[in-house]
Amino acid sequence: MKFTETPINGAFVVGIEPRTDERGFFARAYAAEEMAAVGIPMTISQSNISVTRIRGTVRGMHFQVEPAPEAKLVRCPRGAMYDVVADVRPDSPTYGSWFGVELTQYNNDALYLPLGCAHGFQTLVDDTVMYYDASAPYTPDAVRGARYDDPILEVIWPLPVAMISEQDRSWPLLSDQVAETGH
């Protein structure tokens, strides 16, 4: 596996190292020891999949807080998506920053998001599949979000937003969340 640091503290692009032959290829997509060696202490508690039918759809920006913060390892096994990690950890040196990377069925890259970071993506083609491993189970009371157009983050989506859920459009601004909680 190949690990490339991103500008977000603790986030990595994770590449595979395929072994190819006439049948195709084989590669490790998750290796706990290799990941721990570069500072990714992820154990998988749950795996999730979503199918998004319409190009330009944005999902996110989602994260979980105590008692169930989650790290994520995100892939795109079909289609193409622009995947975003946003640092919403108030005490982080990269708070308010974001990083985006294209994940596709062809590049086989993944994005690792550390605990406390928000995740969102925009589909670049119709019928895109997003698959991710999470370090904690889905915990409804711990779910939070930041608006896809939050002025603190200023995420630049590559396409006009074709569709977004009412929930994702309605998350409070990060500035309001910090004011409410003190962090």
DSSP of 81-143, one letter per residue?
A: EEEEEEE--TTSTTTT-EEEEEEETTT--EEEE-TTEEEEEEESSSSEEEEEEESS---GGGE
pLDDT value at position 178?
65
pLDDT value at position 180?
56
pLDDT tens digits, residue range 72-127? 999 999 999 999 999 999 999 999 999 999 999 999 999 999 999 999 999 999 99
pLDDT value at position 85?
98
Average pLDDT, the chain: 95
DSSP result, 136-177: S---GGGEEE--TT-TTT----SS---B--HHHHHPPPHHHH
- Dist CA 69 CA 144 (whole Å): 10
Domain ranges of the chain: 2-181
Q: Is the pLDDT of residue 17 over 70?
A: yes
pLDDT tens digits, residue range 86-97? 999 999 999 999
Q: pTM for this structure? A: 0.94
CA distances from 27 to 19, 44, 98, 133, 163 (A): 6, 18, 28, 17, 34
pLDDT value at position 51?
98
Catalytic residue IDs? 62, 132
Mean pLDDT over 136-156 rounds to 96
CATH architecture assigned to 2-181 = Sandwich (2.60)
Binned at pLDDT 50, 70 and 90, residue 177 comes out as confident
Q: Which residues contact 20 (CB under 8 A, 6 or more apart)?
A: none
Name the residue among 49, 44, 38, 45 with its Cα closest to residue 11. 38
